[in-house]
Structure 1
Amino acid sequence: MFKYNYYCFLLLTIFNCIYCLNAIAINSKQQQNQTLDLSDSFIHICGGLDGISILSDCYYYNIHTNQWQSIQSMSTPRDDFNMISYDSKLYAIGGYNGNYLNSVETYDTKTSQWKSIASMNIIRHYHDVTVLDNTIYVCGGEYGNVVFKSCEYYFKAIDEWHFVTAMATERRGLALVAHEGYLYAIGGDNANEYLNTMERYDTVSQQWQPMANMKYTRSYFAAVSYLDKIYVCGGFGNSDWKSCETYDPQTNQWTPIASMLSERASLKLIAFDDKLYALGGRTIDDHILDTVEMYDYKSKQWLPTTSLPKHIKQFGASVITKL
């Protein structure tokens, strides 16, 4: 009897192990199926200035097909504005179209339509936007020759904008970057001088704290969170408009990296598919660019790649993934 029970126990144990292994395999396969496919991610650009007109045009670029395609234009032409992606939507915020704007519109990839949402509390251009903890933040900018240090966030649930603690420094042409749980307000100018200063906002304490200065002063430049660092490139200031540097929050230090191939201000910097893309902008002699270059993290070099559909500066750009 004991021998019989032992064999039954052994068979039951083997059966349970096989069942568990199958369950793990099925769960692993389901998790793999839930992983986002980069073929459904696209770089979007909207608006800006082509040297003649303020634009409302929008396009998306699929790096896997190497093609730009147009989508519905914004309802409002926008220059000197900024755009961010959040929850499968694009948000075009503020700017200038002959009048200075506090209006906001959002593009839904599911309906392929733009619609207006609540306007910001104040008119802003030359500001910047980012997303931190599922919340859209806007900081700085200018209106009526007044440079702002104010910041506000979008309360999506009730379609309202609310102010948060203002930065310590007035900034226009700044970069606002969300990185590892903090907001970083970087560079810009205050209408009197270009800045290399940076401050960091803690959403828990609701306070701004000064951090390490960049190597160069920069305004109307571009910045992005990429891997475990913040990357900045180009812009007006005391660099050659090609220079780039990285910030490491672990050491609170800035380090120069390879310069871009072209001098660029009023450009956009996009992190996508383990690479950086520097898009458009203008040169020192105000030649408006349609070129794009790519920074390969492994080779640590900038390489020429595709062109934009137009020569543009002061436009909006963001990556959005269709879920």
Structure 2
Amino acid sequence: MLVLDTSDLPVGDRIGAFEAVAAGAGGVSSVEVEEPEGTVWQRLELWPLGPLTLFHTQGTGMRVSRSPRQARRDALDTVAINIHRQGSGGFSWTDHHQRIGPNSATLQHMPAGYEYWWSGLGSTLALMFDTERLGLPEEAIRAAIPTLEHSPVGQLLINHVHGLHGIADRVATGPEADALASATLELVRAWVVSVAGDDATRRAVATETLLTRVLAYARVHLREPDLTPQRIAWAHNTSVRTLYRLCADGGLSLEKWIVRRRLEGARSDLAAPSHAHRTIEAVARSWGFGNPAFFSRRFREAYGTTPGEWRRRSRRGEPSWRPPPSAHGG
């Protein structure tokens, strides 16, 4: 949902408008821009996802900060996760200073204040939510901030947030928003605890978030034909038996979950004009289906039609239909 695009505003109003939106939506107390008023550009979108808010900010160079004085003056006790996408800049918190570039992640705890900036054209994705949602001691959260860039969970979280952004318009008002928010919070908890907290806390959170991390890993590697339960178990330092029990306790079959997500991806590609030049077999293979007959059978079971007919209907612009109820199980 678009909140602000300064290119739509008169030149003299652009900086002030961005300062007002940044203060209201993100708790920022100061904004400095790199470009003169005539060439400054900032665009801000946001989507509510249950208890989370997802922001996408892009534009010319800027520095935003939340001063300790501002933090003491208001009662905003929130956490912000920033996934930097474009440009180079930096992040400062107390005596911690970190260079940031594409595909880096940082955490801000609002009661402590921070500075975040980039030079030239840049963009970032940010998640904001109440600190209490993490269910972690404040000391553990703050202790993690300087070392999170070294966490083995960081890349998983980055990929997950990129994925959320890709579907935000479709899920923000849907029934899945709360479930997606819960999964995201579990990943953030695992990220923080992976570098902070005592051993007992780390073990407890690792156990609690294992299914979320398993499914996030599977999403990242969904197109790879060798994505097997054995590989997933090995990547998470657990046994296949434990993995199956974990999934069963979560109410799903891992193999069916993987097949369903691959079918969704293939179905989308088959309907997309940008993939019209590719054969059905090539699309299926790109989503991990090495056996064309197996792909066609599972596609028909899930969507009540063949891949070829689905592609023809999509090209004719005919309305799609919901898959039969049996396709949602597992």
TM-score by structure 2 length?
0.27
Greater relative contact order (CA < 8 Å, ≥ 6 in sequence)? 1
User: Which structure shows the higher strand fraction?
Assistant: 1
User: Which structure shows the higher helix fraction?
Assistant: 2
TM-score by structure 1 length?
0.27
